[in-house]
């Protein structure tokens, strides 16, 4: 779907937030500045997170423990998620991963959500969401 501006990306986050469950692993694809962190912000805000949502590019992993436990990762600087404690969160948290890689040993590809954000010239983004096998997401209206 087409996201004309940042508000639309936040709204798409709210749409996703309504279907994501603890234990879900979401790959967030798209170039630098595509809106991956913005989408995560939309997911968290929609579920009532009132605090800041920063890019985990330096800390690698941000854990939000509230009514909806969420782990937000940025693997850009890593070769795999090994050693950052992702295993411990896999069954309790919604796992949102920017620059995903090295996930095959932890979660089957068919069990992962795939989200792709593609910049559109001159403005806006195209969002493509592929749910895991056996899951669906209602159309965004
Ligand atoms: N649909 C959109 N159209 C135009 N700009 C957007 C859209 N969604 C987000 N943005 C802007 O693009 C930038 C994306 O930054 P960020 O979310 O940090 O990207 P990433 O995490 O993919 O590097 C922000 O400045 C945000 O305001
Ligand atoms: Mg980011």
* Per-residue model confidence (pLDDT) at position 118: 98
Give the 3-state secondary structure of residue 97: strand
* Structural domain spans, the chain: 2-130
Specify the 3-state DSSP secondary structure of 2. Answer: strand
Q: State the pairing for strand pair 125-130/70-74.
A: unpaired
pTM exceeds 0.85 = yes
Q: How far is the CA of 99 from the centre of ligand 2 (A)?
A: 9
Of 3.30.300.30, 3.40.718.10, 3.40.50.300, 3.20.20.80, which CATH number belongs to 2-130? 3.40.50.300
Distance CA 44, CA 38 (A): 10
In short, whether 12's Cβ falls inside 6 Å of ligand 1 is no
C-beta separation of 124 from 55 below 8 A = no
Task: For the chain, report the end-to-end CA distance as a whole number of angstroms.
Answer: 10
Residue 87 has pLDDT above 90, yes or no: yes
pLDDT of residue 32: 97
pLDDT higher than threshold 90 for residue 67:
no
Q: Which of 43, 69, 38, 67 is nearest to 54 (CA)?
A: 38
Q: Is the CB of 42 under 6 A from ligand 1?
A: no
For residue 139, what pLDDT is reported? 87
- Which mutation among 8, 26, 33 tests ligand 1's pocket best, with the greatest number of atoms within 8 A of CB? 33
Burial 104-121 (b: 16+ CB within 10 A, else e): eebbeeeebbbbbbeeee
Q: What share of the chain has pLDDT > 90, as a percent?
A: 95
Predicted pLDDT at 140: 74
The answer to whether the CB of 53 is under 6 A from ligand 1 is: no
CB-CB contact of 94 with 69 (8 Å): yes
For 62-87, what is the mean pLDDT?
94
Which ligand does the CA of 126 lie closest to? 1
CB of 37 closer than 8 Å to CB of 45:
no
Check if 52 has its Cβ closer than 6 Å to any atom of ligand 1.
Answer: no
For the stretch 106-132, pLDDT in tens is 999 999 999 999 999 999 999 999 999
Q: What is the pLDDT of residues 16-39, one digit of tens each?
A: 999 999 999 999 999 999 999 999
Is residue 25 within 8 Å of 111, Cβ to Cβ?
yes
């Amino acid at each position: 779907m087409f996201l004309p501006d940042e508000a639309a990306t936040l709204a798409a986050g709210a749409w996703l937030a309504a279907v994501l469950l603890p234990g879900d692993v979401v790959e967030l694809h798209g170039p630098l500045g595509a809106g991956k962190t913005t989408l995560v912000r939309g997911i968290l805000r929609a579920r009532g997170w009132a605090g800041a949502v920063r890019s985990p590019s330096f800390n690698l992993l941000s854990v939000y423990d509230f009514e909806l436990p969420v782990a937000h990762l940025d693997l850009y600087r890593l070769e795999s998620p090994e050693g950052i404690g992702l295993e411990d969160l896999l069954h309790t948290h919604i796992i949102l991963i920017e620059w995903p890689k090295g996930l095959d040993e932890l979660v089957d590809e068919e069990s992962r959500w795939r989200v792709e954000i593609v910049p559109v010239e001159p403005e806006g983004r195209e969002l493509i969401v592929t749910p895991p096998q056996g899951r669906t997401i209602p159309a965004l209206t």
